[in-house]
């Protein structure tokens, strides 16, 4: 690598610049658009310099859009709240169910343990609609149609395999001898789990939780099939937005910015763990 020619270094820099432009430009463009009025957006050629306005965001946050044609109600804050509630609850439930199971799979090689772990993993790869479409019919019979309970339950399909497999890896990394020594000292397995295993695997559990949150937040098809307007998260809500009449483009852009900001912020915060999480624990970053 030391004897790279000047031409090669220039080519590398150009290629890298192109890569950055391709991947960053859409985000930048939407971000700028969210501060523009409809007139600015519709001007051709696109204006590079404009006076930014916050009116798109205020319209979304107050839920009222006043225009010449009258006032229009926007339920976007409701979608945002649904996203927060569904993602947080699903991850909490997943951690509650998944962390003990991950510990069991990591520490005890019991009969059928690998089969069960793989069955749980295979949920990650089955076509979601295969389960979702019959589920719409079942949920209607069970009275779970369009309930947060039903949605959180189904969201376990996204969160649980992820948490189980990542956290399992972290438990496996803890030396069993440490736990054994603590057990010998006369402590119960639960005390060992709580005082030794949980704190040591803590960062991994937190990272798995953050990742599960991101995936739950970004999910689209589950809520599209199972939720009506009042329970829909931002991913589904934003789609309805585009087809709604009277909505201005700047507001769509602002809605997209508000919808992706939380996951982008979390991803940048947890980026150290992303490689491991995205590969379900197969590759370490």
Q: How far is Cα 56 from Cα 255, in angstroms, rounded to an integer?
A: 9
Q: Taking CB under 8 A as the rule, does residue 116 contact other proteins? A: yes
Interacting residue with other proteins among 156, 192, 232, 251 (CB under 8 A) = 156
Interacting residue with other proteins among 133, 176, 191, 229 (CB under 8 A) = 133
Q: Taking CB under 8 A as the rule, does residue 264 contact other proteins? A: yes
State the minimum distance, in angstroms, from the CB of residue 138 to other proteins: 6
Q: Taking CB under 8 A as the rule, does residue 239 contact other proteins? A: yes
Contact pattern from residue 181 through residue 210 relative to other proteins, giving x for each residue in contact according to CB under 8 A and a dash for the rest? --------x---------------------
State the minimum distance, in angstroms, from the CB of residue 83 to other proteins: 10
State the minimum distance, in angstroms, from the CB of residue 166 to other proteins: 11
Q: Taking CB under 8 A as the rule, does residue 16 contact other proteins? A: yes
Q: Taking CB under 8 A as the rule, does residue 274 contact other proteins? A: yes
Q: Taking CB under 8 A as the rule, does residue 82 contact other proteins? A: no
Q: Taking CB under 8 A as the rule, does residue 251 contact other proteins? A: no
Q: Taking CB under 8 A as the rule, does residue 27 contact other proteins? A: yes
Contact pattern from residue 34 through residue 63 relative to other proteins, giving x for each residue in contact according to CB under 8 A and a dash for the rest? -------xxxxxx-----------------
Interacting residue with other proteins among 37, 53, 89, 113 (CB under 8 A) = 113
């Amino acid at each position: 690598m030391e004897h790279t020619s000047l031409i090669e270094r220039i080519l590398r820099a150009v290629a890298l610049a192109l890569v950055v432009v391709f991947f960053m430009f859409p985000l930048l463009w939407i971000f700028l658009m969210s501060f523009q009025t409809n007139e600015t957006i519709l001007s051709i050629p696109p204006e590079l310099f404009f006076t930014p306005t916050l009116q798109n965001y205020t319209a979304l946050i107050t839920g009222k859009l006043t225009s010449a044609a009258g006032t229009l109600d926007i339920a976007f804050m409701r979608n945002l709240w649904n996203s927060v509630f569904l993602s947080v609850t699903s991850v909490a439930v997943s951690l509650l169910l998944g962390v003990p199971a991950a510990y069991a799979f990591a520490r005890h090689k019991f009969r059928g343990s690998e089969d069960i772990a793989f069955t749980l993993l295979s949920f990650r790869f089955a076509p979601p609609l295969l389960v979702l479409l019959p589920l719409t019919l079942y949920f209607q019979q069970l009275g779970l149609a369009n309930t947060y309970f039903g949605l959180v339950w189904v969201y376990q399909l996204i969160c649980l395999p992820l948490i189980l497999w990542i956290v399992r890896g972290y438990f496996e990394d803890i030396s069993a001898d440490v736990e054994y020594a603590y057990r010998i000292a006369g402590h119960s397995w639960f005390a060992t789990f709580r005082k030794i295993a949980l704190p040591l695997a803590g960062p991994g559990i937190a990272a798995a939780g953050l990742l599960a949150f991101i995936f739950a937040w970004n999910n689209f098809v589950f809520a599209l099939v199972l939720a009506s307007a009042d329970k829909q998260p931002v991913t589904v809500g934003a789609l309805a937005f585009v087809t709604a009449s009277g909505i201005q483009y700047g507001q769509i852009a602002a809605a997209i910015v508000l919808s992706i900001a939380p996951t982008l912020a979390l991803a940048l915060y947890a980026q150290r763990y992303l490689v491991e999480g995205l590969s379900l624990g197969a590759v370490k970053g």
